[in-house]
Structure 1
């Protein structure tokens, strides 16, 4: 990441943590260095353990199904569209 991207990511992370503090919850952020690499590695392990995915672009959500049958929902304006199959001419 560029220095500007790192600063912008840190600003976003700070806002998220400030919101968590307002509702008396704790959190942690990682926007560069070893902490970010560790977070990426954890996310990759988490994704590699999935057994199913439900993509719902209209709702801006992706639901993942884990090996133990539990579910996690990711709310994102971009991820569901990135994961959606393109609509073809013969569809």
Structure 2
């Protein structure tokens, strides 16, 4: 029993990994997948590069004039003010955008 608790304790510690480690692992995984597709990527995780990327994303989102959320396929389509479309593939985002069902007229 003590061995089992020690193993579970180690598992719990592994789950409680530092947030920066989780971010680093996620960005490395994405870059590795893009490398397999022979499409190079760049990761911004801190400092001026991240601040710039976030500012550009805010501008991009502010140009959205319509949103089509498709939870069944895990996709959100954005229509921008210049008529272009952008698609975001995400299992979570469509659900975040969905409103709860209402049955009271």
TM-score (norm 1): 0.86
How do 1:63-78 residues align onto structure 2 when only pairs under 5 Å count? Answer: 63-78=77-92
Corresponding residue number in structure 2 for 1:45? 59
**Residues 49-71 of structure 1: CA deviation (Å, up to 9, x unaligned):** 11111011111110000122111
* Runs of 4+ with >3 A deviation: none
Asked if residue 58 in structure 1 is aligned to residue 72 in structure 2, the reply is yes
Unpaired stretches in structure 1, ≥5 consecutive residues: none
Q: Secondary structure at the match of 2:38?
A: coil
CA-atom RMSD in angstroms? 1.6
Q: Does structure 2 conserve the Cα–Cα contact (< 8 Å) formed by 1:6 and 1:32?
A: no
Q: Which has the higher contact order (CA 8 A, sep 6+)?
A: 1
**Residues 26-51 of structure 1: CA deviation (Å, up to 9, x unaligned):** 11011222222211111110000111
Provide the aligned length of Structure 1 versus Structure 2. 89
Moved more, 5-14 or 29-38: 29-38
Corresponding residue number in structure 2 for 1:7? 21
Query: Radius of gyration: which is bigger?
Result: 2
Q: Secondary structure at the match of 1:62?
A: strand
Q: Distance in 2 between matches of 1:34 and 1:53?
A: 30
Asked if residue 16 in structure 1 is aligned to residue 30 in structure 2, the reply is yes
